[in-house]
């Protein structure tokens, strides 16, 4: 099924699930859905014979600090090997209430992927069997991939930020 047929099929089977959609430059259809419907939509994409997106390629989170009320986003990439079609499912939710239902029931591979997004962005996956940090140190208090945190460790003493132009120092003025 191509993009239009997929959207028509989904609108018929699960009305209201697909809020908007677009096709990116790589030819993959992206479906935007609401946080409450995402697990049902993913399950339908996986189990329905016509759709058959049985493989979860990856899931990742994105932080958009400017979009008030929709700062965080999770993007799921699914793949149908029989017909070689990929699809993206996106959800947006506020950063003050970063709860998302977990997809570990549908795919075992979502386990560590969700832990990674919790570690980086602080997304809380409800229903996850073991939600704790995976890559960063366990006692880290911040979620470092969020845009407000800087890349470097501010407490390091051997590199002088002035020489890297990173401390806000604009440079010597010549007149």
Partner 1 sequence: MSNIISAEIPDGMGGEGFFATKLSSAVGLARANSLWPLPFATSCCGIEFMATMGSDYDLARFGMERLSFSPRQADLLMVMGTIAKKMGPILKQVYTQMAEPKWVIAVGACASSGGIFDTYSVLQGIDKVIPVDVYVPGCPPRPEQIIDGIIKIQELVKNEPLRRRHSPEYQHLMEKYQIG
Partner 2 sequence: MQVQSYFSSLDNLDGELATLNLGPTHPATHGIFQNVLKMDGERIVSAEPTIGYIHRAFEKLAEHRPYNQITPITDRLNYCSSPINNMGWHLTVEKLIGCDIPKRAQYMRVIIMELSRIADHLVCNSVIGVDTGALTGFTYMFQERERIYEMFEEVCGSRLTTNIGRIGGMERDFTPNFHKKLKTFLQTFPARFEEFGGLLSRNRIFMDRCIGAGPISAERAMAYGFTGPNLRAAGVDYDVRVMTPYSSYQDFEFDIPIGNHGDTYDRFIVRQEEIRQSLRIIHQAYDNMPQGDYHADVPAFYLPEKPDVYTKMEALIYHFKVVMQETPIPVGEVYSCVEGGNGELGFYLISDGGRTPYRLHFRRPCFIFYQAYPEMIKGSMLSDAILTMSSMNVIAGELDA
Binding footprint of partner 2 on the chain (CB under 8 A): 24-26, 28, 30, 54-58, 60, 62-63, 75, 77, 81, 84, 86, 88, 107-109, 111-113, 116, 120, 133-137, 144-145, 151
User: Is the sign of the CA dihedral 28, 29, 35, 36 positive or negative?
Assistant: negative
Phi, then psi, of 149 in degrees rounded to 5? -95, 145
Minimum Å gap between C-beta 138 and partner 1 is: 8
In the complex with partner 2, which residue's Cβ is closer, 34 or 145?
145
- The interface mask with partner 1, positions 112-141, x = CB under 8 A, is -----------------------xxx----
Minimum CB–partner distance for residue 56 and partner 1 (Å):
26
Burial category of 28 from C-beta neighbours within 10 Å (exposed 0-12, middle 13-18, buried 19 and up): middle
Of 116, 74, 80, which Cα lies nearest the Cα of 95? 74
Helix axes 3-13, 38-47, angle to 10 degrees: 120
Minimum CB distance to partner 2, residue 15 (Å): 27
Position 159 contacts partner 1 (CB under 8 A): yes
Name 124's bridge partners. 99
Closest separation between CB of residue 84 and partner 2, Å?
A: 6
Please list the helix, strand and coil fractions of the chain in percent, rounded to the nearest 5, in that order: 25, 25, 50
| Interface with partner 1 (CB under 8 A) | 135-137, 144, 149-153, 156, 158-159
């Amino acid at each position: 099924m191509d993009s239009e047929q997929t959207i028509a099929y989904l609108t018929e089977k699960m009305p209201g699930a697909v809020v908007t959609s677009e096709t990116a430059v790589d030819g993959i259809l992206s479906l935007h859905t609401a946080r409450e419907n995402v697990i049902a939509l993913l399950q339908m994409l996986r189990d329905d014979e016509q759709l058959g997106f049985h493989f979860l390629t990856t899931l990742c989170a994105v932080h958009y600090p400017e979009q008030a009320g929709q700062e965080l986003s999770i993007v799921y990439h699914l793949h149908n090997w029989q017909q070689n079609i990929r699809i993206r499912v996106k959800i947006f939710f506020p950063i003050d209430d970063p709860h998302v239902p977990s997809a570990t029931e549908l795919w075992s591979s979502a386990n560590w992927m969700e832990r990674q997004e919790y570690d980086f962005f602080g997304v809380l996956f409800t229903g996850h069997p073991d939600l704790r940090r995976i890559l960063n140190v366990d006692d880290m208090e911040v979620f470092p991939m969020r845009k407000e945190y800087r890349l470097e460790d501010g407490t390091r003493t051997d590199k002088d930020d002035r020489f890297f132009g990173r401390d806000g120092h604009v440079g010597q003025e010549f007149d």
